[in-house]
Amino acid sequence: MGQEERKKEQNRVNEILDVVGGKISGITGSKESVTKGIVDLRKNFWEDVTVNLDETDDVYETQASIKQQAELLSERERRHGQMTRQLKTLYRLLDSPYFGRIDFQEEGEAKTEPLYIGIGSLMDTRNEDFLVYDWRAPISSMYYDYAPGPAKYDSIDGEIKGIMKLKRQFIIHNGKIDGMFDTGLTIGDSLLQVMLGGRASSHMKSIVATIQKEQNQIIRNETDRYLIVQGAAGSGKTSAALQRVAFLLYRFRKTLRSDNMLLFSPNPLFSSFISSVLPELGEENVIQTTFKDFIEERIGRDLQMENPFDQTENCLTMKDREAFRIRTEGIQFKASPIFKNLIDLWLEQLKDSGMMFRDVMFRDRIIVSGNEIKRYFYALPHETAILLRLEEVRDWLLRRINAFVKKERRKDWVLEEAELLDHSEYAAIFEKLQEKKQFSEDTFDDYDREELMLRKMVMNRRIKPIRRSVKQLEFINSQKVYGELFYKDHGDVPVPDDWQAICMATRMRFEEGDCPWEDAVPYLYLKEKIQGRKGNQEIRHLIIDEAQDYSPIQLAYLQAAFPRCRMTILGDMNQAIYAQSFAGDTMLSEKLYNSDEVRKLTLLRSYRSTKEIMEFARRLVPGGDQIEPFERSGRLPEWVDVPEGHKAAAILEKVEAFKASGFETFAVIGKTMRECREAYNELRGKTEVKLITQATYQFGKGFIVIPAYLAKGIEFDAAIIYDASAENYHRENERTIFYTACTRAMHELVLLNSGDGTPFLENIPEDKYVRVSRERQ
């Protein structure tokens, strides 16, 4: 491409920047006057309202006047918000007004139109023509979907066909074109090379300028309720998901807000890692949580829930083979559709028997016993649904409590406790008494009235939490009802071989008030079905990353908790880290959904790591031959044999080399936290290093030590696998953890090993890595 052409394009950029500049000053001016208007309105709110409460009509008039004033204020505030958003987009355009251009000749038209594409749209000064199209506009989809030649897009008026004559990409910074490529491919590799060759950062970047065709399909899917994406490590699942969020917010901007979308991320570190992508695209972040936090909040104080990372750590560090087998068998069974069916069956049977209730207690005394509640419950008509029966029980209990209160408040302790009331509470009682005196002709002796009020106040205060818990149906003993599943005979249902041992372990944990992670969701599923808990109607779209770590029962629970939701479900079966995912279906299995509501897309091209790293890593997993590494060259992975006790020295040497290469983020990755602590203890004091734990919510540039299960979804310039020995990685379920760890590296991968190397490396051809022995150095 000639200098002349580049000059022409730069001139256009300059023209656009002038328009942007003009718009910025225009909006800034209007915004100032809107701000002033808001401040004045707030200041004079009550002066401009006519307040008169003398007659009923006056009250209505006053209300109308307040309403009018409030509406005026909120309209101004809305405009102010809109202007702030417009300004934000304009400032972004000022730095880089667009990243792409396509020249398109529509069928039947003589002229070819150049269309420029950026992160937001820009109209000319007369507001007639688009100077820049938003990347999410229907017409912009051609940029991602086609190479020059015949092309089409869907508009509101139907399909528009034509010829794409040119496709050009730009790198523009501070209003200056730093790079410009014409491309024949869908999105040319040159720009992608530049993007992927850069340094990793503690924050993910948006991929808007280089979205690939297959990723675009994910981003723009509007038809399917459940969109499943199975994608290789580094294939852009998370990136595409975030672009998709931005797309949906634009496409459905009249009905969908960012707080209608909820993203489940694999760990808190990941939440912070991706937090800048949406703001970079001019959108607000959606609500984010981890599944663990979501479930823990719902379990509340009923039980002490095990953390899923602790479950993983526990399984990975278990030395006793038998205990490990029983635990994983239990975990896998409790994740399966068979176990969900068992619960559904149990829910059916509860109509006739099996419900358990807690005693309703008051100060160590039983008001109504659990057995009495049970008798009352099962005496209600059999055909009445469980929930309706429970509501009847609740009302009956509230009546029983009222009767109890009336009796109890006569007792001496109540008056004794009244003496402990503080001054303000006494004052409140006197105020009430005064009010009553004013309005009644009652001849009660003041003293008796005061005493009665005091007694009522003490009792009310004491009984309030009991009433609240009855209203919330907490008199159901859900723990025991769930626990019954582990006492019952399940007839023909195919339970695991070690079912008795599993039952015993579960009963013991529950009796101690513990809830193993594998029981948390089944328990909540049962409890909320019994209580008829209504689903969340606000959330309309769920994005579930690392979905291979979710079981069928967890899916069923989410479907019940978010009944109106569409879901974008992303994951990679080769990166499963929880024992529940090693056998059976996961949330990525299409068969768990209605066939007319689900679509599964697959991403095979992997972008994160260099070709050398991916050529190595893909051989670690089944089906890896289908993964296509992106053509970006780097050093071969290094397998370093280190004598026991010399790892720290080897790592420090590597860290220095990484720094010299200009790398900014590098990590030692361990299988478990235990291993990471060992590595960290060896390294600290010798170099600047940070240990990442479950409690870490952010990481910055520099050197960290991290277990693989917390490094999910994250990437580093270079990664060092701390212990690639056979002793550490030999169980089949450790393969995916090993693969996850290796695929975190963008530019360099080093594996340290003392003793025999992991058998997972056996099938990797020797030309795919360099083997170094530190003994010989």
CB 185 within 8 A of CB 620: no
Cα–chain-centroid distance for residue 522?
20
- Per-position x/- string for 572-611, each x denoting binding to ligand ATP as judged by CB under 6 A, each - no binding: x--x-------------------------------xx---
* Nearest residue (CB) to ligand ATP, 368 versus 711: 711
For residues 351 and 407, give the distance between their C-alpha atoms in angstroms, rounded to a whole number: 34
Q: 233: annotated binding-site residue?
A: yes
Number of residues that bind ligand ATP (CB under 6 A): 24
Distance in angstroms (rounded) separating the CA atoms of residues 79 and 769 = 59
* Nearest residue (CB) to ligand ATP, 164 versus 191: 191
Stretch that binds ligand ATP, among 210-218, 399-407, 447-455, 687-695 (CB under 6 A): 210-218
Binding residue (CB under 6 A) for ligand ATP from 97, 118, 120, 231? 231
Site string for ligand ATP, 388-407 (x = CB under 6 A): --------------------
**Residue 48 per-residue DSSP state:** S
Report DSSP state, residue 759: G
Q: Which residues, at least 6 apart from 314, have a Cβ–Cβ distance to it below 8 Å?
A: 327
Give the Å distances, CA to CA, from 549 to 267, 572, 583, 658.
12, 9, 11, 32
CA angle 182, 204, 582 (to 5 degrees): 110
Residue 483 in contact with ligand ATP, rule: CB under 6 A: no
Q: How far is the CB of 200 from ligand ATP (least distance, A)?
A: 7
Among 16, 19, 117, 207, binds ligand ATP (CB under 6 A): 207
Q: Between 288 and 328, whose beta carbon lies closer to ligand ATP?
A: 288
Residue 92 gets which letter from DSSP? H
By CB under 6 A, residue 192 contacts ligand ATP:
yes
Q: Looking at beta carbons, which residue is closest to ligand ATP?
A: 236
Residue range at the interface with ligand ATP (CB under 6 A); choices 226-234, 462-470, 503-511, 530-538: 226-234
Site for ligand ATP in 681-700 (CB under 6 A): none
* Nearest residue (CB) to ligand ATP, 283 versus 329: 283
Tell me whether residue 232 is annotated as binding. yes
Annotated binding-site residue? 238: yes
C-alpha torsion 26→29→30→35, nearest 10: 150
Residue 725 marked ligand-binding: no
- Give the C-alpha distances (Å, rounded to integers) separating 38 from 75, 86, 400, 469: 10, 19, 54, 45
**What is d(CA 284, CA 232) in angstroms, rounded to the nearest whole number?**
28
Cβ at position 574, least distance to ligand ATP in Å = 9
Site residues for ligand ATP, window 718-757 (CB under 6 A)? 743
Of the pair 101, 608, the CB lying nearest ligand ATP is at: 608
Minimum CB separation of residue 14 from ligand ATP in Å reads 28
Residues 6+ apart with CB under 8 A from 600: 228, 229, 230, 588, 590
Positions in 232-251 near ligand ATP (CB under 6 A): 233-239
CA 106, 111, 116, 122 torsion: positive or negative? Answer: negative
Residue 670 assigned as binding residue: no
Q: For residue 291, count CB atoms less than 10 angstroms from its CB and return exposed for 0-12, middle for 13-18, buried for 19 or more.
A: buried
Structure tokens at 204: 């993910």
- Give the number of residues written for the chain: 777
Binding mask 509-548 for ligand ATP (x = CB under 6 A): ----------------------------------------
Tell me: is residue 235 an annotated ligand-binding position.
Answer: yes
Angle at which helix 517-531 crosses helix 552-561, to 10 degrees, equals 40
By CB under 6 A, name the one of 169, 202, 215, 568 that touches ligand ATP: 215
Is residue 665 involved in binding ligand ATP (CB under 6 A)? no
Indicate the helix (H) or strand (E) that contains 176: strand 176-182
Q: How far is the CB of 113 from ligand ATP (least distance, A)?
A: 26
Gap between the Cα atoms of 476 and 483, Å rounded = 13
Contact flags string 701-720 toward ligand ATP, x per CB under 6 A: ------------x-x-----
Which residues make up the interface to ligand ATP (CB under 6 A)? 192, 195-196, 205, 207, 210-212, 215, 231, 233-239, 572, 575, 607-608, 713, 715, 743
Numbered residues of the known binding site for ATP: 231-238
Numbered residues of the known binding site: 231-238
